[in-house]
C-alpha cells in the first residue's frame, strides 16, 4: 500500500464508529465493537480519544457532517434555477435511499434524535454540525441571489424536511416522504424566489458566480 | 384510590417504557429500568410481554402513536381555513417544544430513526404507527375538502417536516426549525388548496362537517 493510501489508526477508528452509528445508533455500540471494526487495539482508542465513546462519536458526527454539506453545491450547481435545483435534490435523495436498500443517510440526525436528552456533550457536537450546515447553506443560497434571511429560512427548511423524510422513508421503506417533502420545498422556494424577485434581486445567478462551500 | 383511577401493571409498564424511550432511546434502556420505573416485578414484564423489551417498546410506540394522531383534529378543527390551521399547528408545536424545555415530542420518530436498520420487529411497529397516521390524516384532510391524493401528500409532508423539525429543534434548542417548517407547509398547502379549488372542490369546509379521527 502506498504512503498516500494508508490510513492512520485514528482515521480508521472514526470511520468504524461512523458506520456503527449509522446502523446501530449510539447507545447500542461499545468501544470493543469500535476497535474490532477498526482492527485497532483498545488502547489506541483511549490514546486518541481519552474521553472514549462519546468523544469518538462526536468526532464521527463532525467528520460526516462536514462531508454531507459538500453535497449542497454538488447537487445545486448543475441547475441554474433554484426552483429546479431544490426539488431535484430531493428526487436524487429518494433514488439514493431506495438504491441503498434504505440505508441511514444521516447518522447526525438519528444520533441527535436518540441522545438529545441524555448525552449533552454529543448533543452539542451534533448542534455544532447543524449550525455549520445552516451557516454554509445560508451563504450558498445568499450567493445564488436570495436575501440573507430568506437564504437561511430555506436551508433550515431543507435540512428539516430532509431529516424527517429520511426517518419516515427508512421506517416505511418508501420514497414517498422524500417526494412529499420535495413538493413542499418546491412550493416554499417558489414563494421565496417570487418574493425576492419582487424586491429586485436576481435569484437564479449563474453557477460560475457561486463560491464553493468550504 | 378508586377503582376507576387504578391502573393495571400492564398499563404502568407501557407508560414507564414510553417515558424511558422518550428520554433515552431504545438501546440505552434495560428491562430492569422499565420494571423499576413501573414499580412492577420483573416477572410481570415477561408475563405481559413474553418477548421482553422489543415487545413492550412496540406496544409503547403504538400507544403513543395512537394518542398523537388524536391531536390532528384538535389542532385543525378550530380553524375554518386549512391555510391558517396548518401553520398554526407548527406555531403551537414550537411553543410546546420550548415550554417543555426541549422535550422529545415524538419517541415514535426518534426510536424509528435509531433502530430502523437493527431491530426489524420494532421498525415494523413504528411503520404500522406511521401508516395509521397517514391513513387517518388523509381521511381528515379529505373530509375537509381535499382530493384524496392531495390529502395524502399533505399529511405525509406534515409528518415528515414535523419529525425533522423536532430533531433539529431539540438538538439546536431552537424553535427556528419548526417555524421554517411551518412556512414551508404554508406554501405547500396554499398550492394544494389553490389547485383543488381550481378543480371546483370546496376545501375549507365547516368544522362540524368533519368526522372525528378515531
Question: Which of B111, B171, B181 is the best residue to mutate to test the A interface, defined by the most A CB atoms within 10 Å of its own CB?
Answer: B171
Q: Do B190 and A188 touch (CB under 8 A)?
A: no
In the prediction, which pLDDT does B201 show? Answer: 72
Name the E strands within chain B.
none
In the prediction, which pLDDT does A63 show? Answer: 97
In the prediction, which pLDDT does A2 show? Answer: 43
Task: Identify which of A157, A159, A177 has the shortest CB distance to residue B156.
Answer: A177
In the prediction, which pLDDT does A99 show? Answer: 98
Query: Once rounded to an integer, what is the mean pLDDT over residues B111-117?
Result: 98
Q: Do B177 and A166 touch (CB under 8 A)?
A: no
In the prediction, which pLDDT does B5 show? Answer: 53
- Percentage of chain B exceeding pLDDT 70: 92
Q: Share the mean pLDDT of chain B.
A: 92
Query: Once rounded to an integer, what is the mean pLDDT over residues A34-47?
Result: 96
Query: Once rounded to an integer, what is the mean pLDDT over residues A11-33?
Result: 97
**pLDDT beyond 50 at B208:** no
Query: Once rounded to an integer, what is the mean pLDDT over residues A172-197?
Result: 93
ipTM of predicted assembly, 2 dp: 0.92
In the prediction, which pLDDT does A208 show? Answer: 44
* Grid cell of B39 as nine digits: 414499580
pLDDT digits (tens, 9 = 90+) for A82-132: 999 999 999 999 999 999 999 999 999 999 999 999 999 999 999 999 999
Element (H, E) at B38: helix B31-38
**pLDDT beyond 60 at A69:** yes
End-to-end CA distance of chain B: 30
**Surface of B (173-212) touching A: CB under 8 A:** 173, 176-177, 180-181, 183-185, 187-188, 190-191
**Surface of A (4-63) touching B: CB under 8 A:** 22-28
Specify whether the CB–CB gap between A35 and A44 falls below 8 A: yes
Cα B166 from Cα B178, distance rounded (Å):
7
In the prediction, which pLDDT does B214 show? Answer: 47
Q: How many residues does chain A have?
A: 214
In the prediction, which pLDDT does B6 show? Answer: 64
Query: CB of B100 within 8 Å of any CB in chain A?
Result: no
Q: Do A167 and B164 touch (CB under 8 A)?
A: yes
Cα B167 from Cα A112, distance rounded (Å):
7
pLDDT digits (tens, 9 = 90+) for B184-202: 999 999 998 888 888 777 7
pTM value? 0.92
Q: Which residues of B touch A19 (CB under 8 A)?
A: none
CB-based contacts of B201, cutoff 8 Å, min separation 6 = B145, B146, B147
**pLDDT beyond 70 at A212:** no
Q: Do B177 and A159 touch (CB under 8 A)?
A: yes
Closest residue in A to B128 (Cα–Cα): A172
Specify whether the CB–CB gap between B104 and B166 falls below 8 A: yes
Q: Which residues of A touch B160 (CB under 8 A)?
A: 161, 164-165, 168, 177, 180-181, 184
Amino acid at each position: 500500500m502506498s504512503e498516500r493510501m494508508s490510513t492512520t489508526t485514528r482515521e480508521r477508528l472514526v470511520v468504524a464508529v461512523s458506520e456503527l452509528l449509522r446502523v446501530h445508533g449510539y447507545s447500542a455500540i461499545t468501544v470493543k465493537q469500535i476497535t474490532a471494526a477498526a482492527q485497532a487495539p483498545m488502547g489506541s482508542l483511549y490514546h486518541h480519544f481519552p474521553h472514549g465513546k462519546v468523544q469518538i462519536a462526536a468526532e464521527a458526527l463532525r467528520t460526516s457532517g462536514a462531508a454531507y454539506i459538500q453535497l449542497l453545491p454538488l447537487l445545486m450547481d448543475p441547475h441554474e434555477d433554484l426552483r429546479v435545483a431544490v426539488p431535484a435534490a430531493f428526487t436524487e435523495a429518494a433514488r439514493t435511499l431506495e438504491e441503498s436498500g434504505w440505508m441511514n443517510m444521516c447518522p447526525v440526525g438519528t444520533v441527535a434524535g436518540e441522545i438529545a436528552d441524555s448525552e449533552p456533550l454529543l448533543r452539542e457536537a451534533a448542534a455544532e454540525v447543524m449550525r455549520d450546515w445552516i451557516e454554509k447553506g445560508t451563504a450558498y443560497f445568499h450567493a445564488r441571489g436570495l436575501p440573507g434571511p430568506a437564504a437561511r429560512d430555506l436551508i433550515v427548511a431543507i435540512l428539516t424536511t430532509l431529516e424527517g423524510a429520511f426517518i419516515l422513508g427508512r421506517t416505511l421503506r418508501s420514497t414517498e416522504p422524500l417526494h412529499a417533502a420535495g413538493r413542499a420545498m418546491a412550493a416554499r422556494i417558489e414563494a421565496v424566489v417570487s418574493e425576492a424577485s419582487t424586491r429586485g434581486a436576481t435569484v437564479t445567478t449563474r453557477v460560475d458566480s457561486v463560491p464553493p462551500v468550504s
